[in-house]
Chain A
Amino acid sequence: GQNIDQPTEMTATEGAIVQINCTYQTSGFNGLFWYQQHAGEAPTFLSYNVLDGLEEKGRFSSFLSRSKGYSYLLLKELQMKDSASYLCAVLDSNYQLIWGAGTKLIIKP
């Protein structure tokens, strides 16, 4: 079966750096997405990786290793507003989007 694994919850301190991991086993691969979702709100797009390597976008970076079935989202200079759930989703060979359950990130002052 197809599977995406993310930690359920993580805690970090304001101003620090946190890395949220995502591992996947899917039938084929056509890209990996990261979304941010604040409680009770809609997910918003953060990044899309289809090639190996690191994509940097301001305080957020996303890394992909297709051979390892692994991605991470790196958040730097954490702010209280970064408290949210972070969803990893993989587009498989049939262009079906498989979603992880999300990682709830708690930022402490």
Chain B
Amino acid sequence: DGGITQSPKYLFRKEGQNVTLSCEQNLNHDAMYWYRQDPGQGLRLIYYSQIVNDFQKGDIAEGYSVSREKKESFPLTVTSAQKNPTAFYLCASSMFEFREQYFGPGTRLTVT
């Protein structure tokens, strides 16, 4: 079955710790994205990547970092510099940049 996987579904961390969220896709899509979703707000783009070894900052990249060493994988690191890291994080991919996007199940991160 083709799709996008994110793990874990729930993640708890102490303030001051970096944490890496995984995102893997087997859809053979070139473009991948990371979004953050907070209650009452639209999805906000953190980073996106069109091809391997290349990525661009989205609207709220501060405090986050990514890598794209393989086409299938686009992990997101939430660093201790992110002021408000508690949120629902969604990874997505698309065949072409910013066309129909397929989303993973999301990771709910809680930092205390």
Which A residues lie at the B interface, using CB under 8 A?
4, 8, 33, 40-45, 48, 87, 89, 91, 95-102
Contacts and interface: CB of A to CB of B under 8 A. Distances in A.
B42 interface: yes
How many chain B residues sit at the interface, stated as a range, is 10 to 19
Given A101-B41, A101-B42, A96 B98 contact: yes
B102 interface: yes
A45 B98 contact: no
Nearest to B45: A97
Contact of A99 (B43, B100, B104, B106): B43
A97 B106 CA distance: 19
A45 B40 CA distance: 20
Nearest to B100: A45
B interface: dominant SS: loop
23 contacts: A4-B42, A40-B108, A42-B103, A42-B106, A43-B43, A43-B90, A44-B103, A45-B100, A45-B102, A48-B99, A48-B100, A89-B42, A89-B43, A91-B98, A95-B98, A96-B98, A97-B98, A99-B42, A99-B44, A100-B42, A101-B41, A101-B42, A102-B42
B75 interface: no
B101 interface: yes
Contacts of A42: 90, 103-106
A4 B99 CA distance: 18
B103 A33 contact: no
A40 B100 CA distance: 21
Nearest to A6: B42
A103 B90 CA distance: 18
B94 to A, nearest CB: 10
Contacts of B72: none
B39 to A, nearest CB: 9
A41 B105 CA distance: 6
A101 B40 contact: yes
